[in-house]
Structure 1
Amino acid sequence: MSADDLTIAFHIGAHKTATTHLQRSLMKSVEGMAAAGVRYYGPQDFRLPGRSIFALFGLKDASPVGPRRSPQAQLALMRKDAARIVFSEENFIGVLNSPRRLPVKQRYPHAATRISRLAAAMERPIDVLLGIRHPTAFLNSAYCQQLMGGRVVPFARYHQINPVKSVDWLDLVARLRAAEGVGQVTVWRYEDYATLFPRICSALVGARAASLVRPLDRRIHEGLSAEAVSETLARHAKDQTEKLGFAMRKTMPVGPDHPRFDGFGPDDHAAGDAAYAHQIAGIRELSGVTFLDPDQPE
């Protein structure tokens, strides 16, 4: 099989759009996909010391010791005899919550540049796949993730740094679409993820390999309940600094007795509705972008 026969797809996230569920579902079928000509690599491959995508392919921000082999040699090693290589690593395009305390003006500002550099290193185009999510729901989930990571601040402060208008998926998709080295771009709504799961897998690994992938029957990273957030903030104020978010998630899990946390009011949700609708309409109009829609035939 020649090098020209190889195609590459990269599921870049975004964070909080069922990325881990998709990654673990794919991992369960990794051997079958390999037999079908698809090699899948995910966080389990890229989050070890010296094994990030940056380090493996000699990109900017890589380890100072440099890559152990050339990008082409690395690609050949990962390819083996496959016709398609699939990556999934949401951290490649940037962090979910910036450690800076300045207001976020643009999500994933380096995403397009990083994909272009990777495509240049691989010397072939990369198909990009991306899930998006309603702005207020995305920020609620991102806030809970920050609490579980130990960076505890009141939601009002988090919202100041992360305004609803900072979640602009049209801007991100347009930048990715315009980036050199990007092939086909495929986008779907997190809200449609369960319905679209077979089509997402087909776009990512191809129809033959996708037929082998079955979705896990559970959520992977449940968020926090309103009570869990309140208790995390209260205990943090008393200088209890253990992993409060994780402990409170276990003690007060989301369910009938503990409603899911929501830091936004009706006006914020309405603004998010309008922004999301506008962004989706714009994404649908972008040339070279496939927007997966459960209301449209495959």
Structure 2
Amino acid sequence: MTRIRFHIGAHKTATTHLQMTLARCRLVAGTRYVPLKRLRRLLTSRVRKGRLILPWHRWYRGTWLFSDENILGTTANALEMYPQPASALAYFADCELTVFLCVRGYETFLPSAWGERLWHHPVRPFRPELPQRRWTDLVDDLKAALPGVAIRVWRYEDYRVHSEAIIRDYAGGAIERFSSSPGSRPKSGFSARAVEELGRYAGTKVGKRRLLSIRERFPVGENHPPFDPWSEEQKRVLAEMYADDLAALRERVELWQPGMPRHSFYESQNE
């Protein structure tokens, strides 16, 4: 049976870094990684739109490494904490599927997802409201829709420090030569001053060129702090929500922890 180790995001949790790193790694025979653009063109975009022609991925009897955060939904869905996370992912459930998810603290995740949406959609004000859905709801929905499918989770905050260990474990020990130098730099976030400038274009699609110009004029740094829409009380509540979620996730799925022996968290494809 075809094995699929599917990294599903979420958005703005260093998915680009993981994808770019894997594209430069050498994998052992029997495991293949499909670069994001090719994966979307040939498979995941078609699955999401219900336009799949041939299920070519099922003809391979080895292990696929897939990574596409859009399989969860759009950035608009991210702002709602992905109300239907398995609607497209269920297509792969007849393979030997393992799902990998990265979670992030709400305080930075939600503004980052909002900022990502600006690249392709009209400017809308960010609404600093506490999320009604949470990471635990997302995981519970995945478990209900994908019975028997293993779900593995790591924290974005851990990935920033332990990316190599996490990528190696996600690949199931299949990386023969690791590359820690992605070919290009992922998009950075917006400063508070840049967001203020973007307010001039409310309701309109700014476009990539203008967005780049605004971000370069007001880069995140000493002179321009990052966009921070929350009150101090909201930050306290969001931090408590995230801590509670992590504690609950430890009871629901396997949560990666720093210091774990290599490959002890994610089973090897041969085990």
Q: TM-score interval w.r.t. the shorter chain?
A: 0.7 to 0.9
> Cα offset for 1:251?
1.6
CA distance 1:112–1:210, shift in 2 (3 Å): farther
CA distance in 2, matches of 1:238, 1:185: 38
**Post-superposition offset of 1:133:** 0.6
1:194 aligns with 2:187: no
Does structure 1 conserve the Cα–Cα contact (< 8 Å) formed by 2:21 and 2:181? yes
1:256 aligns with 2:222: yes
Deviation at 1:293, TM superposition (A): 1.4
Q: Which moved more, 1:206-215 or 1:83-92?
A: 206-215
Question: Is structure 2 residue 191 aligned with structure 1 residue 225?
Answer: yes
Match of 2:86, SS?
helix
User: In 2 relative to 1, CA 272–297 (structure 1 residues): closer, same or farther, beyond 3 Å?
Assistant: farther
Number of aligned positions between the proteins: 261
| Cα gap change, 1:218 to 1:263, in 2 (>3 Å) | farther
Structure 2 partner of 1:117 = 91
Please give the TM-score of this superposition, normalised by the length of structure 2: 0.85
Structure richer in helix, relative to its length: 1
Deviation at 1:43, TM superposition (A): 1.9
Confirm or deny that 1:272 pairs with 2:238.
Answer: yes
Partner Cα distance (2:102, 2:181) in 1: 16
Cα distance in structure 2, aligned partners of 1:256 and 1:272: 25
Among 59, 82, 86, the residue aligned to 1:108? 82
Give the Cα separation in 1 of the matches to 2:172 and 2:164. 10
Match of 1:179 in 2: 145
Q: 2:7 aligns with which of 8, 11, 29?
A: 11
d(CA) in 1 for partners of 2:133, 2:158: 18
2:266 corresponding residue in structure 1? none
Distance 1:47 1:194, change over 3 A: same
> What's the secondary structure of 1:15's corresponding residue?
coil
Q: Which residue of 1 aligns with 2:73?
A: 94
Change (3 A) 1:201 1:93: same
C-alpha contact 1:226 1:258 (8 A) present in aligned 2: yes
Q: Give 1:53's aligned residue.
A: 44
Cα distance in 1 for partners of 2:152, 2:261 equals: 15
Q: Which runs of 5+ in 1 are unaligned?
A: none
Q: How has the CA–CA distance of structure 1 residues 137 and 167 changed in structure 2, closer, same or farther, with 3 Å as cutoff?
A: farther
Q: 2:16 aligns with which of 6, 14, 20?
A: 20
Q: Which amino acid aligns with 1:53?
A: T
**Alignment partner of 1:62 is 2:73:** no
Q: 1:89: Cα distance to partner?
A: 0.6
Worse overlay, 107-116 or 264-273: 107-116
Distance (Å, rounded) in 1 between the aligned partners of 2:8 and 2:199: 32
Given that 1:116 and 1:180 are in contact with CA atoms closer than 8 Å, whether structure 2 keeps it comes out as yes
Q: CA contact under 8 A between 2:154 and 2:256: conserved in structure 1? A: yes
Q: Note closer, same or farther for the CA distance 1:164–1:211 as it changes in structure 2 (3 Å cut).
A: farther
Of 163, 170, 178, the residue aligned with 1:212 is 178
1:169–1:279: 8 Å Cα contact kept in structure 2? yes
State the SS of the aligned residue for 1:196. helix
Task: Give the counterpart letter for 1:22 in structure 2.
Answer: L
**Identity, % of aligned pairs?**
32
SS at match of 1:129: strand
Q: Is the Cα–Cα contact under 8 Å of residues 81 and 134 in structure 2 kept in the other structure?
A: yes
Aligned to 2:101: 130
Q: Describe the shift of the 1:164–1:245 C-alpha distance in structure 2 as closer, same or farther (beyond 3 A).
A: farther
CA RMSD of aligned residues (A): 2.7
Gaps of 5+ in 2: 263-271
Residue 293 of structure 1: aligned partner: 257
1:145 and 2:141 correspond:
no
Matches of 1:116 and 1:41, distance apart in 2:
19
Q: Is the 8 A contact 1:252 1:258 kept in 2?
A: yes
| Structure 2: distance between partners of 1:211 and 1:184 | 26
Higher gyration radius (CA): 1
Q: 1:44 aligns with which of 37, 40, 45?
A: 37
Q: Could you tell me how far 1:296 is from its partner in structure 2?
A: 5.0
CA drift of 1:165 comes to 2.0
Q: Distance in 2 between matches of 1:210 and 1:136?
A: 37
The Cα shift of 1:250 comes to 1.7
The code of the aligned residue for 1:84 comes to T
> Given that residues 201 and 210 in structure 1 are in contact (C-alpha distance below 8 angstroms), is that contact kept between their aligned partners in structure 2?
no
The offset of 1:218, in angstroms, is 7.5
